[in-house]
């Protein structure tokens, strides 16, 4: 991108500018994530760059995804929300488990990632990909289960959480998995984690206990597994009836 073009948005970490600017561009990416909350525009810019190579670059989280799907304990006919579904890697497995009577809804704001998710779920009639920010999601029906996998930005966003839990049935199963920081003794490892994650989320805020805000809806949420030397957690819980916004009517 040359100066003077109409595209004035700064890129996340991989600018079209070359040379020194490109090599030093990690600085803004790491420092910008000191912001107190997620930044939608920054995230969209990052995933425009990351989408093409996303599945290959994130191969080490495949095991976490499969464990998350197992822990959801999906049944035939269930409706499940895959919150921030990314490139849709979990959609086909969940579609198989809920069957044609069920519904899998992927919610993804990046048009590049949503396009990949649609591709990944092509031919699966029970899958819908909603290309919108989670905070603007309007569910066609209530959820029996919700999954958040490496959805840190969403988990730090109150209005996004309100939007999805507004359509969660009482007792809906919730699985959350993603990065978390180790205590003080893990500082060098934490630095490594922050470096690796710098382009995949837009705020470091909340990384010590990323599940914290989910406790409002799922007070029984518990960490049941750890991966990657403790830097990835997997938590399971259910939506407290008093907090649930969804109804029992199911699809329609
Ligand atoms: C690290 S990726 C994880 C994707 C997927 N869950 C996986 O397992 O690979 C985070 C995703 O969250 C999406 N995202 C971030 N904030 C969002 C929001 N407010 N609404 C919808 N999607 C969001 C990003 O576009 C990105 O695709």
CA distance 71 to 242: 23
pLDDT reported for residue 245:
82
Q: What is the pLDDT of residues 61-108, one digit of tens each?
A: 999 999 999 999 999 999 999 999 999 999 999 999 999 999 999 999
pLDDT reported for residue 30:
75
pLDDT at 9 over 50: no
- Per-residue pLDDT, averaged over 165-180, amounts to 97
Q: What is the pLDDT of residues 120-142, one digit of tens each?
A: 999 999 999 999 999 999 999 99
Ligand 1 binding pocket, CB closer than 6 Å: 43, 47, 58, 65, 84-86, 89, 107-110, 113, 133-135, 149-151, 153-154, 157, 160, 200
- Per-residue pLDDT, averaged over 165-175, amounts to 97
CA distance 77 to 169: 14
How far apart are the CA of 98 and the centre of ligand 1, in A? 22
- Tell me whether residue 92 is exposed, middle or buried, using C-beta atoms within 10 angstroms of its C-beta: 0 to 12, 13 to 18, 19 or more: middle
Ligand 1, atom 20: closest residue by C-alpha = 133
In the Cβ-directed half-sphere of 125, how many Cα atoms lie within 13 Å? 3
pLDDT at 178 over 90: yes
- Per-residue pLDDT, averaged over 139-149, amounts to 97
Ligand 1, atom 27: closest residue by C-alpha = 86
pLDDT at 8 over 90: no
How far apart are the CA of 4 and the centre of ligand 1, in A? 31
The model's confidence at residue 36, banded by pLDDT at 50, 70 and 90, is confident
User: Between the CA of residue 158 and those of 15, 212, 217, what are the distances in Å?
Assistant: 31, 11, 11
- Per-residue pLDDT, averaged over 217-223, amounts to 98
Three-state DSSP at 133 gives: coil
Task: State pTM to two decimals.
Answer: 0.89
Residue 224 DSSP label: E
- Per-residue pLDDT, averaged over 113-121, amounts to 98
């Amino acid at each position: 991108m040359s100066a003077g073009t109409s595209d004035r948005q700064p890129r996340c970490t991989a600018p079209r500018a070359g040379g020194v600017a490109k090599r030093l561009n990690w600085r803004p990416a790491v420092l910008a994530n000191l912001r107190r909350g997620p930044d939608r525009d920054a995230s969209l810019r990052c995933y425009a760059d990351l989408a093409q190579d996303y599945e290959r670059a994130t191969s080490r989280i495949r095991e976490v995804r499969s464990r998350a799907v197992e822990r959801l304990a999906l049944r035939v006919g269930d409706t499940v929300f895959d919150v921030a579904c990314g490139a849709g890697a979990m959609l086909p497995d969940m579609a198989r488990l809920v069957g044609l009577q069920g519904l899998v809804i992927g919610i993804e704001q990046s048009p590049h990632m949503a396009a990949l998710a649609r591709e990944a779920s092509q031919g699966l009639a029970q899958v819908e990909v909603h290309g919108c920010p989670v905070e603007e999601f309007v569910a066609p029906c209530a959820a029996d289960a919700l999954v958040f996998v490496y959805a840190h930005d969403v988990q730090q966003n109150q209005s996004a959480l309100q939007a999805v839990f507004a359509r969660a049935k009482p007792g809906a199963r919730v699985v959350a998995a993603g990065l978390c920081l180790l205590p003080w003794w893990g500082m060098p490892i934490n630095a490594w984690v922050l470096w690796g994650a710098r382009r995949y989320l837009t705020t470091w805020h909340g990384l010590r206990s990323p599940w914290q805000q989910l406790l409002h809806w799922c007070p029984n949420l518990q960490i049941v597994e750890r991966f990657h030397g403790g830097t990835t957690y997997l938590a399971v819980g259910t939506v407290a009836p008093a907090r649930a916004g969804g109804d029992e009517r199911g699809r329609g």
